């Protein structure tokens, strides 16, 4: 899994609402990157949609990947 996907998964732990998540991540990633990685995470069942607005890590399907040290400052920034 790449760093962008890992960062997005950890950001989902902070912000479940998709609209809020995308707004926060726009400071770090392009909206196209965010949407592409969300689609991949949903398609691989690492993340699931709960209703039209809520995203949730699928803990029953996969474990949340460890956040590399180099990404921790970015996660704290959002």
Q: Please give the pLDDT value at position 61.
A: 79
Q: How many domains does the chain have?
A: 1
Contact 8, 34 (CB under 8 A): yes
Report if residue 44 sits inside a domain. yes
Q: What is the DSSP letter of 17?
A: B
Long-range contact pairs involving 55-63 (C-beta distance under 8 Å, separation at least 24): 55/12, 55/16, 55/17, 55/18, 55/21, 56/12, 56/16, 57/9, 57/12, 57/13
Q: Please give the pLDDT value at position 1.
A: 62
CA angle 33, 29, 78 (to 5 degrees): 135
Report if residue 23 sits inside a domain. yes
**This prediction's pTM:** 0.90
List pLDDT tens digits, range 2-47.
999 999 999 999 999 999 999 999 999 999 999 999 999 999 999 9
Per-residue pLDDT, averaged over 63-75, amounts to 90
Report if residue 70 sits inside a domain. no
Q: Please give the pLDDT value at position 44.
A: 93
The tokens 């990685």 sit on which residue?
37
Give the confidence band of 52 by pLDDT, cuts at 50, 70, 90: confident
Q: Could you tell me the residue range of the domain that residue 52 belongs to?
A: 3-61
């Amino acid at each position: 899994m790449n760093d962008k996907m890992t960062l997005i998964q950890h950001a989902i732990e902070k912000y479940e609402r998709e609209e809020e998540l995308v707004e926060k991540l726009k400071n770090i990633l392009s909206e196209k990157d965010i949407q592409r990685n969300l689609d991949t995470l949903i398609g691989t069942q690492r993340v699931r949609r709960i209703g039209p607005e809520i995203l949730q890590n699928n803990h029953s399907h996969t474990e949340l990947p460890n956040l590399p040290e180099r990404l921790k400052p970015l996660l704290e920034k959002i």
